[in-house]
Structure formats: C-alpha cells, structure tokens
C-alpha cells in the first residue's frame, strides 16, 4: 500500500515507548506525514531527542512521562494526554521491556511481575484511562512480537500473548465505534531490546525499525488488515 502523506495530516496520535527503537521510528514516520504526535517514555532524555527529530519535520509534538509499571504514573500520564489533546485519532502501544529470559520455573517472580506490569497490565490501564479520548474510526496498534507465548522468552512472552488477546477482545468491544484494533509484529529489527535478547546476532543482519513501520501507518490512515499483522510480510501479497 502506498500512503498519501496527507491522510495523516493533523491526526493526533499517541505513541508509547517513543524514546528509541521501533517507537521512535514510528513517531518520526508520523511526523513526516503531518501527524500531531504525543510521545511517551520513561526515559525523558531519549524522548526529547525523538521530539526534536519530529519537530524538525514540522510536526506538532507533546512529551509525556510514562512508567507503565506504576499505576500512579499511568493515571497521571493519561490526564496529561487529555490536557494536551482533546481527541486521539490514533494510538500506538509500543512500550515494553524484555524481562527475565529462560524457563519460567527459573525466573524471579518479582521480575516477571514487573515485566508483565509494563508489557501488559500497564497497557490495559492506559487504554482504560484514555478510552474516552479515542475517536470513533480511530486506529489502535498493539505492537506485539513473534515471541508471544514462546518458550524461553519468559515474562516477555506472557506479556505479548496477553496483549494479543487484549487486541482480539477490543476489536469486538469497540466494533460499534468502528475502531480498528490491530496487533502488529515488526519482526526482527535493529533495536537495543533485540540486541539484549540475541547478543550472538550481528545487528547488521536485521533491518532498521524504519523499514517495518508501513503497516502501522496504514492502520492509522484507515486500513483494517485484520487482527494481527506480520510487518515483514506487509505488501508482499
């Protein structure tokens, strides 16, 4: 699909985990297409860098600090989003942490809980809090992973599996409002998290995140490709 850049002109889109990696790539692509981006992350230093890059493209940009492991932070962030924009035409839930890898039986339970708070529970809380802001006919992207439910990936696999289940539920629950809820798996991309999970891998052998943002843009621009998309296969059919 070839997107007309004007299709996202003025659209207000919230992107979590926008300080680096895939979230930053999505934010920059939205800025190029004229969207008003609301960017969140825990690391405000890196987030400011993404914001400068978006501003260089002429985009309107708001920064919101968000720690998905903290209910208080989620509530405060949702209130701040409501303060800076009256409505959201798009949401991209990209934030996540890897957490402990390996067999679940060997993992620290508290570490598992923290990762699931970030990768799943905090995402649910955030969506609940911002639901009144999400416009009818909006696009909601849940960034998932091929590791969802996969042995050896610990809490990350559990959190992403939960996120995919959440997407299926919300597609039905928000269908009357014509809100497109799509789980998108970027596949292997050159990020810090990928390097942490696969230290033996040469980063040059995987594509940069910017090469895998097309389906996110398409969903936000109005397309509904179904409940789950593999970004690596986008445009090949």
Domains in the chain (CATH in brackets) are: 5-232 (3.40.50.720)
> What would the pLDDT profile of 52-83 be if each residue is shown by its tens digit?
999 999 999 999 999 999 999 999 999 999 99
Residue 22 annotated among the catalytic residues of the structure: no
**Residue 54 contacts residue 31 (beta carbons within 8 Å):** yes
Average pLDDT for runs of 10 along the chain of length 237: 59 96 96 96 90 94 96 98 97 91 86 92 97 97 90 89 96 97 88 68 79 95 95 77
Q: 110 vs 92, 94, 113, 114, 215, CA distance in Å?
A: 27, 23, 5, 6, 35
pLDDT at residue 236 in the model: 59
Residues 41, 48: Cα–Cα separation, whole Å: 10
* CB atoms inside a 10 Å sphere around CB 61: 22
Q: What share of the chain is helix, strand, coil (3-state, %, to 5)?
A: 50, 20, 30
pLDDT at residue 153 in the model: 85
3-class SS at 126? helix
22, 120, 153, 156: the catalytic one is: 156
pLDDT at residue 44 in the model: 84
Q: Among 60, 1, 51, 15, which residue's Cα sits nearest to residue 33?
A: 60
Whole-prediction pTM: 0.91
pLDDT at residue 86 in the model: 96
Adjacent-strand bridge partners of 36: 12
pLDDT at residue 3 in the model: 39
């Amino acid at each position: 699909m070839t997107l007309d850049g004007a299709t996202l002109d003025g659209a207000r889109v919230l992107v979590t985990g926008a300080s680096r990696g895939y979230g930053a790539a999505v934010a920059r692509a939205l800025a190029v297409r004229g969207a008003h981006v609301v960017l969140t992350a825990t690391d405000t230093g890196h987030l400011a860098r993404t914001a400068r890059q978006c501003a260089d493209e002429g985009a309107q940009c708001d920064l919101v600090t968000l720690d998905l492991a903290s209910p208080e932070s989620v509530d405060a962030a949702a209130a701040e989003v409501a303060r800076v924009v009256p409505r959201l035409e798009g949401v991209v839930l990209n934030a996540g942490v890897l957490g402990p890898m390996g067999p679940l039986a060997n993992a620290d339970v508290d570490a598992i809980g923290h990762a699931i708070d970030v990768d799943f529970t905090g995402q649910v809380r955030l969506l609940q809090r911002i639901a009144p802001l999400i416009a009818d006919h909006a696009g909601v992207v849940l960034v998932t992973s091929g590791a969802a439910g996969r042995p050896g990936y610990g809490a990350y696999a559990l959190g992403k599996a939960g996120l995919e289940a959440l997407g299926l539920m919300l597609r039905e629950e928000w269908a009357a409002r014509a809100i497109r809820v799509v789980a998108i798996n970027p596949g292997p991309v050159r990020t810090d998290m990928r390097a942490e999970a696969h230290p033996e891998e040469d980063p040059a052998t995987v594509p940069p995140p910017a090469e895998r943002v097309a389906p996110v843009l398409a969903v936000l621009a109005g397309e509904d490709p179904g409940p789950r998309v593999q970004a690596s296969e986008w445009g090949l059919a």
